[in-house]
Amino acid sequence: MNKVLVMGGTEFISRAILLELIKKGYEVDFVTRGQREIDFDGYHKHLIADRKNKEQMKAIFKNKNYDYIFDVSAYTKEDVEILVDSLDTSSLKRYIFVSSGAVYKPTTELMKESDERGRNENWKEYGFNKKLAEDYLMNLYKETAFPYVTFRPSYIYGEGNNLKRESFLFSRAVKSLPIVIPVSGEAKVQFIHIKDVVQILLESMDNKLVVGEAFNLTDAEQVDWLTLVQTINEVAGTKVPVSGITEKGMSELNVTVGEFFPFRDITYVMDNSKLLEYGLPLPKILLKEGLEKAYKWCEESGIFDQYEESETYKKVLAFSQEISSK
């Protein structure tokens, strides 16, 4: 039986990967800091360690090796380096690293895997640190043929999402609260549903073509913020009004996009054609269908109740409505 290690396992992406591996019958270990209750079974071992602590990592991996590793929780080069140094990788067939589209330098064009990566002020250190982690794996592959593959997702959404994103917009919709969107430019973005993420990552396990490669991970559908909110309304069966606020308006109020809207107001689109070229499946779940699945999960989990309208949001909303009425 193939042995698999998942770094993470209790939140969103890592949890979805872990549960699918268990479902498919793999012998799965996973690593967390032990701060969350485990509410599922079927795994082999739950290993507890701080992945930034070299001694703890070496201790939990003593006399262990794996055929496959899914690294979802690495945010820096050091995170990856400590893990690799702590493992016996002699039997490793694939190290699957979840990076980010934030590694690319700023652009409004469709990003390809060959495009330049580097600092991007829109993503701050998050994107640059992911880039450095990728560089470490690339060099390791050149030096030792380390069997890694990197995936750079766009916005991941869907059931189990613990980030304040689509659930926040749904929450406002079902509470009949107007939604404010930034209208500073003509931002276009892409999404990918968690089920498509998991399927594509698992398909890379035994695909020999993908070793040493990086892949954009996104559905090709591009939407603007108004279309996103209109789809939220359609899925939730609501008709909450949408108003906009410009960069100038935000400056007058001394607020940032992140204080009232759950996404960055930048064009964030990527070419996903390389997936098909290397024998990996393209995403199948379009945004409306994916949001229907997400809405059902949000409704069942009671997540709408965790969001309260902040004073900042009220201020932004009042300002945007006043401008719209003039």
CATH classification at residue 51:
3.40.50.720
Q: Please indicate, yes or no, whether residues 236 and 309 belong to a single structural domain of this protein.
A: yes
Q: Please indicate, yes or no, whether residues 33 and 152 belong to a single structural domain of this protein.
A: yes
Query: Over the stretch 86-114, which tens digit does the pLDDT of each residue have?
Result: 999 999 999 999 999 999 999 999 999 99
Q: Please indicate, yes or no, whether residues 112 and 185 belong to a single structural domain of this protein.
A: no
In a domain, 272, yes or no: no
Q: Please indicate, yes or no, whether residues 176 and 107 belong to a single structural domain of this protein.
A: no
Q: Please indicate, yes or no, whether residues 83 and 129 belong to a single structural domain of this protein.
A: yes
**Residue range(s) defining the domain that contains residue 120:** 3-157+192-217
Total structural domains within the chain: 2
Q: Please indicate, yes or no, whether residues 210 and 292 belong to a single structural domain of this protein.
A: no
Kindly report the CATH number assigned to the domain that includes residue 297. Answer: 3.90.25.10
Q: Please indicate, yes or no, whether residues 197 and 185 belong to a single structural domain of this protein.
A: no
In a domain, 274, yes or no: no
Nearest-angstrom CA–CA distance, 112 and 215: 9
In a domain, 280, yes or no: no
In a domain, 294, yes or no: yes
Q: How buried is 121 (Cβ within 10 angstroms: 0-12 exposed, 13-18 middle, 19+ buried)?
A: exposed
Q: Please indicate, yes or no, whether residues 244 and 184 belong to a single structural domain of this protein.
A: yes
What's the pLDDT at 325? 62
In a domain, 275, yes or no: no
List all residues 6 or more positions away from 20 whose beta carbon is below 8 Å from its beta carbon: 198, 202
What's the pLDDT at 83? 98
Q: Please indicate, yes or no, whether residues 8 and 121 belong to a single structural domain of this protein.
A: yes
pTM of the model: 0.97
Low pLDDT (below 70) residues in the chain: 324-326
**SS (HEC) of the chain:** CCEEEEECCCCHHHHHHHHHHHHCCCEEEEEECCCCCCCCCCCCEEEECCCCCHHHHHHHCCCCECCEEEECCCCCHHHHHHHHHHCECCCCCEEEEECCHHHECCCCCCECCCCCECCCCCCHHHHHHHHHHHHHHHHHHHHHCCCEEEEEECEEECCCCCCCCHHHHHHHHHCCCCEEEECCCCCCECEEEHHHHHHHHHHCCCCHHHCCCEEEECCCCCECHHHHHHHHHHHHCCCCCEEEECHHHHHHHCCCHHHCCCCCCCCECECCHHHHHCCCCCCCCCHHHHHHHHHHHHHHHCHHHHCCCCHHHHHHHHHHHHHHHC
In a domain, 31, yes or no: yes
What's the pLDDT at 305? 85
In a domain, 209, yes or no: yes
What's the pLDDT at 186? 81
Q: Please indicate, yes or no, whether residues 144 and 95 belong to a single structural domain of this protein.
A: yes
Q: Please indicate, yes or no, whether residues 102 and 40 belong to a single structural domain of this protein.
A: yes
Q: Please indicate, yes or no, whether residues 173 and 202 belong to a single structural domain of this protein.
A: no
In a domain, 198, yes or no: yes
What's the pLDDT at 322? 83
